[in-house]
Structure 1
Amino acid sequence: MSDDGGLWLLALGPAGATALYWALYRYYRNTDKSHAFERETAVEAKPVTGSERKVDEVKGTRETRIRGDNVRAYRTRVQRVRNDSS
C-alpha cells in the first residue's frame, strides 16, 4: 500500500511559505502602485533669479536645519503631470 495521500501535505508547506512570502512582498512593496517620478513628473528649468543682498548670517552649527525647508513635504514639491489629451 503506497502513501501518496501524504505527499501533497509535504508539498503544501514550501508552497504555502512561498505564497505567503510573495503576498507580503506585494503588500508592502506596492511595486505596481508606485509613483514613477521619471514618467509622471514634469520638471521645467527656468532661469535663476535673485539678488546678492545679504539676508541672514548663521555661524557654526547653532542651527541644524534651514528655516522654511520643505524636505519632508515631498507631496507639495512634486506634482503629477496631467494629460489633457483624453
Structure 2
Amino acid sequence: MSHDGGMWLLAIGPAGAAGLYWGLYRYYRNTDKSHDFEHETAVEAKPITGSEKKVGEVKGTQETRIDGDNVAAYRKRVQRIQDNTS
C-alpha cells in the first residue's frame, strides 16, 4: 500500500493559495487597465504671467481650506490626451 497518493492533496493547499492571491490581486489592482498618468496626460509648460500687485492679506485665520480650491475636482484639472489620428 502506497502513501504517495495523498501528496497531491498537500500540494493543492499552497498552489490554491497562490492562485487565489494572484486572482484577487489582478481583480482589485487592474494594473493592465489603470490610467497611466505619465503617458496619457499632456502637461504643457507655459511662461509665467502675472504681476506683483498685492490683492489681499489674511492674518490669524482658523480656516483649514482655501475658498475655491479644486482639490476634489481632479477631472477638471487633468484631462486625457485626445487622439486626432483618424
TM-score range, shorter chain: 0.7 to 0.9
Q: Deviations over 1:18-74 (max 9, x none)?
A: 011111111222211111111101111222233344433221241111111111221
Q: How does 1:49-64 map to 2 (within 5 A)?
A: 49-64=49-64
User: Which residue of 2 is the match for residue 17 of structure 1?
Assistant: 17
Runs of 5+ in structure 2 lacking a partner?
none
Q: Report the Cα distance in structure 1 between the residues aligned to 2:24 and 2:3, rounded to whole angstroms.
A: 34
Q: Report the Cα distance in structure 2 between the residues aligned to 1:82 and 1:25, rounded to whole angstroms.
A: 31
User: Which residue of 2 is the match for residue 8 of structure 1?
Assistant: 8
Percent of paired sites with the same residue? 77
Runs of 5+ in structure 1 lacking a partner?
none
**TM-score relative to the length of structure 2:** 0.83
Deviates more, 1:45-54 or 1:58-67: 45-54
**TM-score relative to the length of structure 1:** 0.83
Which letter maps to 2:13? Answer: G
User: Which residue of 2 is the match for residue 71 of structure 1?
Assistant: 71
Aligned length: 86
State whether structure 2 residue 13 is matched by structure 1 residue 30: no
RMSD in angstroms over aligned alpha carbons? Answer: 1.7
